[in-house]
Amino acid sequence: MNTGIDVFLFIALVHLGVLAYAAQLLAYSAGMLNSYFWNGRWTFRERTAGGKYVWLKFVLWNIAWLGLSSIGLFLLEQSRLLPVFWAKGAVTGATLLLNYGVSRSWIFAVRKPDERG
Which sequence spans correspond to the domains of the chain?
Answer: 2-115
pTM: 0.70
Per-residue model confidence as pLDDT tens digits over 18-52: 998 899 999 989 988 888 777 666 666 655 554 66
User: What pLDDT, in 10s, does the model give residues 65-104?
Assistant: 889 888 988 888 888 888 888 998 998 888 877 888 887 7
- Cα–Cα nearest to 28, from 67, 85, 82, 76: 67
